[in-house]
Structure 1
Amino acid sequence: MNARRFCGSILVLCSLVAVGCDHTGKPVEGAEALRPDKVTDFNKLYSQNCSGCHGADGTHGAAMPLGNPEYEAISDEGVIADAIGNGVQGTLMPAFSQGSGGMLTDDQINALVMGIREKWYKPDTLKGLDVPPYQTNKQGDATHGQQVFATHCASCHTTGTQQKGAKLSSVTDGSYLALIGDQSLRAIIIAGRPDLGHPDWRGPSGNTPMSDQDVTDLVAWMASQRQKTPGQPYPSQP
């Protein structure tokens, strides 16, 4: 066998091994690559679809920390499944279900929901506490909500346009409010963001809890500060 034929044989053999075939060219059992819509491994699905916004370990992401046991305690499987499948209106959370234009099947969404709950849901997290509900049908009073902000939030937050280098973050900055919906505001107020040092509805000391109506009114006030055209002003038309 000359050198050219020998090298060619080696290349063929390597190619067969690379694609999961044995020396006869038959596929090796278990080596077949799964179709993207057949992947149901939670870690793979979460890494590919969720970690970029919610954090690799469910915290320290730009979006809602799914690894917060308090958030998991006030929501449920239905809430999470609906958010994954249909997206969340008023936020950057897209719809992932195929029926809503996404790429994930119902089985894959179910695998994500079950994995999230198994990993981060702790049933006794808020046991025995008077927790405002995740959702409410109550009408919010924006005027009272501003008073709630002054009492519960002003020590850590400011209002108006966020200033560069400011020590306090603004909760009414137009860009912030343009990227978050009312339901997400409510969830953060109730469950907090422990990954960022943000307390839950009970306050930093845990001794000054907000009522359901307080939370509702606070969200109503923050929502009333949204701008129709957030960000830099558009240039005037000639």
Structure 2
Amino acid sequence: MLTRLLLVIALLAGFGLSPALAAPDGAKLYGRNCAACHGENGTGGIGVPLALPAFQAGVSDDYLRKTIRHGRPGRVMPAFSQLDQAEIEAIVRHVRTWNKGAPATYSARPVKGDPVHGKKLFAQYCADCHGANGEGGKGTGVTFSRPRDLPIMAPALHNPGFLVAASDAMIKATLMRGREGTPMVSFLKQGLKEKDIDDIVSYVRAFEKQPLPGSAQLLKVESPVIVRDSDYDLQTTVENVKRAVSNNNFFYGRVQTLEYGLTDPANENPKQVIVYFCNISMLNQALAIDPRVGMFLPCRVTILETNGKVQVMSVNPGVLSRLFNNSELNRLCDEMSKSYTAIIEEATL
């Protein structure tokens, strides 16, 4: 066994490495997975500012680990299931380089309180920021460069990712101390007693037994692609799609081959085309919720002829809310999916 270990060390040394240097690089992993939302130096952006002293002092390493692992379903923060435990630990260590004191540690012991009374207090002191049912502040995590109502958007408390990551003791400490640099104030300074805070914690923990709010739900779609066969020839099908686009309150943009810009024009396949179209009102709403929708603009339907058989297909917009982990897109994605389906079915009937 010792001989094998020495051999491994020798091989690593031969490549200019050591066992210590072979460990995951937390800074690189953070830059690749976290910086786009939380800022290169943890100053925040779409996500919360991780370098904020009050945040660093208020959360435990375990909270950070579980947040990375489970994310926040429906609230843009993804679950990084592709990272192994060593990589998660490396990111946590990197995040802690911004900490000027010892990281917080909390007991796993449940806080006992009266959730019925806690519900009344929650409505009075918490709902304005965190939502009436703990669903989170409107626009949380999806503001991007748009104006915010609050400097840091209030997180969703009725969310499986938050509830699995935050212990009762951490929630209680946050309520008692507040979080300097954010709208979260000390509830003790608001006149509440420790018993009142215990009641609020008990109410928040009771979310685990309630159905998920809409903010934590993503659209379920049967297929990421909408596909229909057409009994018409390619050109007739294209004209049918253009007409169906107008009939469904979209405006027609253009038709081009699938390979346009990817190969010499003489080599483009004329039996593979895309019809572009748009509904400005609907897309403005979607972009206001999540600008990443722009990657899928303009709207398009693809028409292919293979061995004399014509098919019409498009991406199912319903996958966008799941892809972006953004429940606020649900309604619009559902509407767009129905519109795409109506256009394709009208063109192929």
Structure 2 length as normaliser, TM-score?
Answer: 0.37
Richer in strand (by share): 2
Structure 1 length as normaliser, TM-score?
Answer: 0.49
